[in-house]
Structure 1
Amino acid sequence: MATKSQTWSTFIFITVLAVQVCIGEKSCTIWSSAGDVVQRGSSFEVYCTFNCKCKGCMGSMEIHPPTLQLPQLFNSTTLYVNVVNITKNRTFSCPCSSRALERCGVDIYAGYPPVPPKNISCIYKVLDGENGDVFCSWNRGRDTYFWTHLRLWVKSGSHTDEPRSFRVPSKGSDSYSVSFNVSNSVKEISVWVKAHNKLGSMESTTFNYTLSDIALPPPPVLGQTKCSSRGCTIRVQQSVRTQHLELQYRLDRPTWKPYPDLGVQMGLVQVQSISSLEPYRKYHFRARAKFSTGYWSQWSTHISCWTQEEAPAKELDVWFAASTSELNSIRVYWKERNDSMARVKILNYTLRIFNPDTKSVSFRNISAHERSYLVSSCINCEVTVWARNSKGWSPPAKLSPCHITAKPPEGVHAMTSSNTVSIYWRKPETAFLPAGYVVEWHPEGHKLDELQWVRVGGSENHVIITDMKPFECYEGAVYVLGNDSSVGGAQFVGVNTVESGPTGGPSAQEKVQGNEVTVTWMELPRSQRGGCISNYTIYVENYDSQFRHRYPVSPQKRMHVIHNLRPATYMLWMTAWTAKGEGPAGQSIKFFIQEESQAYLPWVCTVVFLLMFLLCLGRISAVRQRFAVFFHCLVLEVVPDPANSKWARECVKEKQGRTDPQPESSSSTETDEEDEPIIVDVEELPEQRSLTSIPAVAATDVTSCLLQISMRPQTPTVHQTSYIKSLSHDSDNSDQTQTSLDTTFDYISSHEPDNGMEDDEDQEEEFVGVLGFIPSHNVFMNMPGKLEFPGKLTLDAVKIDCSDFFQES
């Protein structure tokens, strides 16, 4: 009896054996109802049957690339899926739920069966007189998406010859080709194509060819070439005899020009001549050949050759423009008449200048690279221009001075289309047409440097210009040329082909004067204009942005004045405009408008300084004497003397009867005949602030009388002569006030007899009414010497020292 341990060992062995048996089996079987190769667009089913002898084998179905189709249950052990309109290769697999078992799967390939070839053609390439190669090609048609085997079958015209096949290599392209050799004894061939793949096979229609109809000779070989000024001879060599030969030539342009058919050519080596060429041109040549039937050969390798020079056959096209840098000067321009002239190798140009005023003739040799010459100080000169090369001179081109002004053309205008500009004008309404027209154009402001022109006949009314640069502004004129050497022109401006807004702003400068600012600027660089400038705009803004104004300015101006700006700090900048819009702002400028009082302050200071300077000069006695000599005409010849007036004399007599006068000592250096001056004490009234001073009277008696008269009642009176003076004196005591009286006096001239005394009361009233009191504020205080009045009181005796005045100030 077996033990418990032996029974357990047996169970383990059986279990392991059962698992090994299940592992050795496939978990499922998968197949397609249409097979593993199907045609694109077809529909079918794919089945998967699981092996359920092993527990847990039933799984699912996966499709690659993934689709939205879900497998369906066919029975307890089988799943399936419907595949509809398959368009690409797919992979189907069925994994088992038990990882210990392998999954099963199948790859389905989708494609097309072969189709008959399209456009099959064959060419017989003749190599020499013995044999040649036949080259056949065709389009494959629709792609099969499978590896397709192709073979070309060929059968000669002889019924006894067996057909031959040639394998066609697959290039993975849309066309196929194959070549094979045939002898010259073969006259006809038949060709067809066979193909097969996994979905089927195909055999094309048979094509029959006569080799002479598809014969292609080898290209000729061009040898030595020799050219004259008007033609070239070319050596042509061929490997087979052909019946036709064609030559072509061209200049540096890409278009070839065929030469007329050269006819039947029988030799292998030929020399062909080409005429009607132009002198001094580089020509390129090529050739091809053909049998009496068949195809033209390929073109030969081209060769090049220069034709020789001739003397220039036509005169130069000459034009002129008045110089802006030199007065009464013109700049003469020239260019070749046509392309044949342009290719001549010019060595130099010669100018003959005839001055009709001085009857002088001069010659100038100009470099071949130049196209203009400045004729200085001779606007009426007659200029003749020649071009010279190694073979000779061109005919003379004469530019005569135009003394007669023709009527300018009317209706001149420009029209822009795409990248071209058309200039139109109206023909004159006369029976006789003009000799011609000249249309000139140039970038704005660059006439002398970049002038271009074209000359047309008198029957034309427009020209088309194709070489105007984009984003450039052009101007020009249309000139009518009369048969009598008269010229009349009409200008056009603001023409451009392609335009944009300016890419930069003008750089401005400012100059401030008072409350106005003058703005100046330069033109924008040509690269920043973007076309024709229509106007400029000046922007002015103060710092607090309370004022901002714009000033449009014409494009011809380079200066603008802005008036009536209020005192403030401003910012200024400029922009430029074209028809496409406004450009960016230029550099900003900061400037100030000051108060008007501050503007006049320097002048006021200057005037005050001059007055103080003149006042200081008055302290110098020599200067005063000089002024007295120069301005003596302004001083009265007879100075009225207040001491000789009637009231003064009467007052002195009365006072002498009572008291003797006490005159102060004087430092005057006058003669003894003159009386000693007397100082007058005057009371100062604080109401008066005038600094006008009155010279003191010559005696205290007179002063005392003045004070007495001022106290009398005032009575109006009539007097014959009036003299108004102002008196100003400092008192001896600072505690006292000074009084100044403005008084009207009646004088008795020292040179005339006394006519008697008038009524004293009338005089007193007149005196008090005129004389007033004014403060002096120590103007004449502490002077080295008192006011001195030697002898009679005269204006010359009044002397004032200003030194203490400036010290007090």
Structure 2
Amino acid sequence: MAPRWLFSILIVNMAISFAAAGSLGPPEPPSKPKCHIPCHDSCGVDIYCHWNHRIDPPTKSSLHWKTADGREQFVDTGASLSGMIGREHFSMNSELQVWVKADNKHGSATSQVAVFDTGDIMKPSPPVISSSPQDPLEISWSSICDEPHLSLGGCDVQFRTQAEKRWHEEEIGAQGSYDFDGLVEAGIVYEIQVRCSCATGLSSDWSAIHRISLETAPTGQIDVWKDCGVPATNLDCAMTWKKLPLSQACGHILGYEVKLFSKHGTSVLMNISAAEPRDRLVCDGPHCYLNSSLKNISSAAISAYNAHGATLPAYITIPTTPGKVTSEHPIDVRMNMANLTVSWNLPSHLPDAKSFKEYVVQYKQAGSPLGKGFDWIRVNKSCTTLTFTGHFEKYRAYQVSLFAVTSNQESRLISSAIGYSCHGIPAKVRSFKVITIAATHATLFWEPAVLTEQNGQILYYQIGVHGQMAVYNVSASHQRENKTFELANLKPNQECQVWIKAVTEAGPGANVTTSFVTKQPEHLVLQSKSHIFAPLLCLLVIMCCLFALYSLHQGSSKTCLCINENVPDPYNSTIFQMLQYQAKQANEALAWISVPIYEAHPTMSTLEIVLTQPPVCEHKCLPEEHTNPAGCTRQRQYGKEQYSKMVDSAEGKDLSGVDDAGSSSEEEQDASGYEQHFMPTAAEILNT
């Protein structure tokens, strides 16, 4: 193994030695210089010369000349392959000898000498070709030799088809136009160049390529598409199309005929002149778009026309619902500032795959208005990759989408992705806040920066707490969706300051911070509540006792109860209801503490104390003829079954002091305390 490495090193050293040896000698001679006096708007006065030479870094060049009177001068040009002889160093219409010398530290070399008359080196600028829309087979041009102080010498014409590489050249003499009638075929695009010379001097360089075609009715259809923005919100779309190539235009396109079909079944026909679009047609390079809203438009048709006819209408459907960006069938996007390459690999069982005719791949620069920053390419179903060429801005997002298109130009969005030609530091996130807080965790919420401000593909978000070493990385796979993250492992009643930042390939962005305090544990909250409710419960019991004593005192002071129209129900008694309410409040209050107190059917008794002394009649008590003069006679039979007894709910006993067994002799017994207190006497009823 070692001898092989040594042999490789030896070969490299030998190559370096040979290269060094080649550069040790004098330089190679430069080529013979070519000199001229340029004529643009007018002819200049200085002579410009250029030559070819393989110049090594240590080699320098110089331009030398010798006039007819024997004066020799030179100017250093360094590493440049051109030089200038100023007007003050030569005479017009006289002989001039020019050569180039190359020097390095090992020697010098001299080119051949160019000898010419300074009055014969005038070189006009290339002609400018134009053609008439009515007769595209005839071209004309303008030259600097048309100026009064010069005259046109001769011109040459060369032409070829776009598919050919070899030029067909013809000398046409001193004329400023040429007719290609009989030399070209209909529907084929030809490229043409012209060069001319003045009466004296040199020929110009070849002009810029001019293209012509024998004009007939245009063929084919316009490539039309729609631009619905980024993301596709369906709020509005722009109808856009590509200009016909010359091979299809077959002449000069005069305008476009556009027909819009509304969702309500009506249609509008628009004839737009290419010469006078009246703000309805906007063309930028190879693309044009209709400067008109497509709201409530379901489909459209467009055709281009020239003086001989029009193309077949091309149809496009406008989406009625926003295109959803999915990742079910992802596409791969690779970008730099000059190229955008898209590739995909779709499954064979794609729904409705048989009805699809082709794919359309489009890109849209985020933030660009409708119809601009936009391009698309149609490919057949067998294609899985394509490349856009152009100038793609740094740090700008481009949404690339893949559509499947049917034969009637209905389209379905298959997938979409975001690409960047160059990534920058990301912008700050928006609306960073805490939406839920617990004792040991909290839920964070934030919104990503808008697509036009992200500056690059966001890979993930970093989240951290000040004072803690742990940093959480949160995926940014769906950048258009709002984000949430649960921050765990916190302490109760802890003051937290949380930060977040986005990260791209260029690095992390700036922090955004928010603060919050975690809550106390649930058992501490319940204990705190019990400390509050315990004194309230004691106060409630004391108030109940005082109220009961007050009620007993009021009952003992009664001397007589007057006749009422309605017999009172003991279950409607105020004391009875108050005791039930107090018991319910006590149970609810005790439910907050750890030991529950609950009794489904509490045992309660109401005891009425009746004085044994003879009652004193009030003003509403009426005496009876057959009554005991000792007091007011009361009726015992009125409602005796319902109100003559008060039964304890637990023991089933008559609280009046009479057992159930003795109820049959109830009439012979003395009235109970309850009846004496509530029930009217027989005398009171009879008198009434």
With normalisation by structure 2, the TM-score equals 0.49
- Using the size of structure 1 for normalisation, the TM-score is 0.43
Greater RCO, 1 or 2 (C-alpha within 8 Å, sep 6+): 2
Q: Computing the radius of gyration over CA atoms, which structure comes out larger, 1 or 2? A: 1
